Every structure is written in C-alpha cells, then in structure tokens.
Amino acid sequence: MNNPHQQLLQQIDLMLRARYPLIYIVGVEEEPIEQVLQQLTQLSQTPRQLLLWDIVTGWDDNGNDKGSVMSALSRIAKTPENTTTIFVLRDIHFILKNPQIDKNAPVIRAIKNLTRQLKRTRQTLILTSHILTIPPELQEEVTVIDFPLPNIQEIDYLIQQLIVSEKLNLNGLGKEQLIKACQGLSRARIRRVLAAALAAKGQVDETDIDRVLEEKKQAVRQTGILEFYTANESLKNVGGLENLKQWVRMRQDAFTEEARRYGIPNPKGVLLVGIQGTGKSLSAKTIAHEWRLPLLRLDVGRLFGGMVGESENRIRQMIQLAEAIAPCVLWMDEIDKAFGNINSGTDGDSGTSRRVFGTLITWMQEKTSPVFMVATANNVQILPAELLRKGRFDEIFFLNLPTEKERHDIFKVHLQKIRPSRLRDFDLQKLASHSENFSGAEIQQVIIDGMHRAFGSLIDGNRRDFHTEDILAAVSETVPLAAIAKEQITSLKRWAAEAGARMASIDTLLIEELKVYSQQQGLGPLEVD
C-alpha cells in the first residue's frame, strides 16, 4: 500500500483545480489531515504553498495574527491573486457555531466575502476541525469532506510501518484479528497501544489483541454516545422466540466475504417490538454473540446536546465510529422515547429531533457498510412512519408474552444457571402453568423472590434452599404487567397485524388472533412463518 489516502488526495486535488473557494475537513486527528494537505502541494504542476494558522501560534511561516481570526482572514484577502496557496484555519468551529454573537458576526461576513474573492484565484481556504459546524450564511459556499478513521488497508499499512516483521509474532489469522480489533481506533491510539506492547515485552503477539480491545472500549466510552458491550449471552440462554432465533441463525454467516461473493447484501437490521420484559434487549445481545460481532449500544438520549448544532454533530460522529468498527451490531434501545411524536410538532427543541432523525433514517436507508442495527420499542404507535418503511429494517418482529411452553423454557434457562445440580427438583411444568401472562423478566424476578423467601427461613439456624413452592408463592403475590397494560398489549397486537410484523415466537393462538385483526382491517391474510 503506497498511499493510504490516495483517493482522498485525488478528491481534494480535483476541488482545488476546480477552484473550490471554501472546504471544510472534519476529522478527529489533525496531524494526518495536514500530512495529506502537505502531499497536495506536490501534485500540481504549479507548486502550491501551504500555510497553516491557529489562534494560539498564528501563521506557521511567521507567527503573525495570533489571537485574531479577522487578522488571519485579512492576510488571505491581501495575498496576490497570482499565487497558488492553500490557507488552513484550524479550529474556528467555536466561532462558526455562534454566528449570532456580536463579535463573531463580522468573522462570518469576512469569510463569505473572502469566498467570493477566492473564486477568481488559485487560492483555497480550508477549515479543519473535529466537529462540523456550518452557519446558515455559509451553507451554500462550503464543501464538506470527512476524514475517516483508518480502514482495514490503512491499519495493515500502519502495522507494517510501526512493527518490524521479526517483532510481529502473529500468524495470518492472528494478524487479521489484530487488524479487526484496531478498527474504530484513531491512528494515534493504534500507534500508542502497539508502542506500549513493544515497550512491555519487545514484540506484538495474540495477547495484545485484548489490550487493543480495551483501548477500543475506552475510545468508544469517551465519545459519550456509544457504549462497547461484551456480549456473552448465547441463543441457548433465551427461552422461546424460536422464529427470531431461526432468523438469526440463518444469517450468522451473512457478513462474510463468501456471502458477498454469493451476491447477498449486508443485512440492515431488525426492529423488535413488544411490552417491557419480553426479551428485546436480551435478543440484541444474543445476536451480537451469535454472529461474533462487537456490540455498540447507542444511548439515544445522549445524542441531544445542549449547544446549537451539537446533536447533529453527535449523530455524524456516531455513524462514523460505527462504520469504522464495522462489521458490528448497533443497538438502539427504546427508540420510541427519542423519536416518538417528532412529527406532531410538540418536540419543543426547534426541530433538532427531526434533523437528527432525518440524518439517521437516511443513513439506515443508504448505508452499505456492515452495521447491523437492532432497535427496540415499547410504544411503537408513536414512531414516525418513515422509520417503518421497507429498506430501513430487514424485518420487524413482534415479541408477545411467552406461551406456556416458552415459560417452561425460560424457567429452565434461569434455574439451570442458578441451581444446575438441582434442576430436576423443580416442577417446571407447574411453574409454567401457574405463571400465565408473566413476561420473561417477571419470571426471572419471581425466581429471585422465591430465593429470598427461602433464604430468610432458618431451620435449626441454617439457611434452607429454595423449592418450587417458594417460586409459586412469589408468583401468587405478583401482579404481572400484562394485567395492568391490557390495552397496550391489545393495541400492539393490532399494530403488528396492520404492519405485517413477523412473530418472534411459534404461537398458533396469537397467529389466529392477528389474522382476525388483519381481516377486520381488510388487510387480507397475515403472512407468518
């Protein structure tokens, strides 16, 4: 790999030759961006000059115009038109995001005036920053370029540059795992973690993959938007949901190169709908574990920042990071709380929610990167229709309350974990039959309540172990959510019938019920597996 940024170089070079006056490069790393710009000076037959400025050091050639953006812009305006120069202003986003402030308004106007002047010259103004902030006054003048985190090819190139072959103690598979582990890290972080490995033991081997993954967790955590989860739950730990399990197993190799050669596109994602406690979050974790992919949880609430334009930048940052780490599973929990009723005009945030939502669904529709989205929702009726259109998700699954057979399996899964040696002592069938309308989460809780009941009973000063009767007693004292939320469950069933959602469970009674709903709406027969 001769130049990892060849495509980007060609893109910016074309813009310079076409006399684009104003370019905005967004990237988390400043040094690699400037290295690319330095390489640009050599591509033209007419030598280009590169001049860099920031508010602390001023211009890099003479140190002038420190502390004044207006002075820096004035120098650009006075530069002779016959020179071929690339002017770079670092980190003026703090001015651009607050154009309404009196002291900032002249800067915005000066940049706008300058772009009109630069169109007639061979000079270009480039703004660089880690975030994108464009005031409305400049939206028609600026061209935005994203400087991405390193891809697989560049990571391989970096490893070759940083580590001599005799100190890279990895076989082919080990090196591939190391490269995948580095995906989503900046170039600086990759250098740092590999340098630490060399300093510690003089070589890089398989043990350093965990070191890299820990660095990735730190990087993801520092975004404040995404969380890096270690998914340990397998499909074996999920009771019921057989249709969903089958769907997941059928696609476990869907992200391989073999699947690409076969012609299968990358799966887009699933929307899991149901009341609380039916296993939606657990399913997201099991999908990542089953497919052996990293799991990123998106805290939708953190997308919405207090500063103007901050939320839009955060969604861009989230997308960029997810695509850099891909293939991965992106888990958006309770998406209805973030984007419910955004079309009602009652969001009260000056349209920020609608803009963030628009960016998200556009990406979901058009993305080609192997980012599999798992979204969960309790109150799906308030979600905008645009989210539910074909192309956003591969499938919408409805998770109903577990059937008796599924409750039997759920009790078995939990008791197997807690008392594997005593599993046969529990009457699973009796527990299942007495826990009608209990969700999976409620079943787990009554087992815990039963354990507390037994733990608090002393026999001859000794703690006794819990039995079926303790769990049944906890069941009798528990009012399931289904008893309180009958209307919500009925409404969800009607919605599932109308939306053509797929059943996550093998439930013949539910299928018949949904068929009735479907026929009442004149929708024709319901399609089920």
Domains in the chain, CATH or no CATH each: 6-146 (3.40.50.300), 152-222 (no CATH), 229-398 (3.40.50.300), 404-436+440-479 (1.10.8)
Q: How far apart are CA 406 and CA 241, in angstroms?
A: 8
* Distance, C-alpha 121 to centroid of its chain: 42
Cβ atoms of residues 315 and 301 within 8 Å: no
Q: Is 63 exposed, middle or buried (0-12, 13-18, 19+ CB in 10 A)?
A: exposed
Peptide bond into 150 cis (omega under 30): no
Closest residue by Cα to residue 108 from 87, 94, 122: 94
Among 107-116, 182-191, 322-331, 346-355, name the one with the lowest average pLDDT: 346-355
Determine the Cα–Cα distance for residues 403 and 509; give it in Å rounded to an integer. 9
| SS3 assignment, position 483 | helix
Structure tokens at 207: 């043990």
CA atoms of 198 and 90, how far apart (whole Å): 33
Structure tokens of 104? 């900032």
| Overall average pLDDT of the 125-148 stretch | 92
Q: What is the pLDDT of residue 522?
A: 58
Query: pLDDT value at position 348?
Result: 52
- Residues β-bridged to residue 390: 393
| Predicted pLDDT of residue 305 | 60
SS3 letters across 234-297? CHHHCCCCHHHHHHHHHCCCCCCHHHHHHCCCCCCEEEEECCCCCCHHHHHHHHHHHCCCCEEE
Does residue 348 sit in helix, strand or coil? Answer: coil
Do 384 and 357 contact (CB within 8 A), yes or no?
Answer: yes
Residues 130-139: what's their mean pLDDT? 90
Task: Kindly report the pTM of this predicted structure.
Answer: 0.76
The mean pLDDT of 88-106, rounded to a whole number, is 90
Where do runs of H (alpha helix) occur along 3-104?
6-17, 30-40, 69-78, 93-96
Chain centroid to CA 215: how far? 17
- On whether the CB atoms of residues 338 and 383 are closer than 8 A, the answer is no
**What is the distance between the alpha carbons of residues 419 and 426, in angstroms, rounded to a whole number?**
10
The answer to whether residue 307 scores a pLDDT higher than 70 is no
What is the pLDDT averaged over residues 340-353? 64
Residues 372 and 259: beta-carbon distance below 8 Å: no
Residue 350 Cα to chain centre, angstroms = 25
Whether the per-residue pLDDT at 388 is higher than 60: the answer is yes
What was the pLDDT predicted at 15? Answer: 93
CA distance 487 to 503: 19
Q: How many helices (H) and strands (E) does the chain have?
A: 23, 15
User: What proportions of the chain, in percent to the nearest 5, are helix, strand and coil?
Assistant: 50, 15, 35
Under the banding of pLDDT at 50, 70 and 90, the label for residue 308 is low
pLDDT greater at residue 476 or residue 524: 476
Query: Could you give the CA distance from residue 484 to residue 216 in angstroms, rounded to a whole number?
Result: 43
C-alpha–C-alpha distance, residues 94 and 107, integer Å: 12
- Count of residues for the chain? 529
Which residue is listed with tokens 């104003």?
22
Around Cβ 367, how many Cβ atoms within 10 Å?
A: 17
Mean pLDDT along residues 281-296: 89
- Nearest in space to 356 (alpha carbons), one of 425, 309, 395: 309
Q: For 163-189, what is the mean pLDDT?
A: 85
Q: Within 13 Å and on the Cβ side, how many CA atoms surround 434?
A: 18
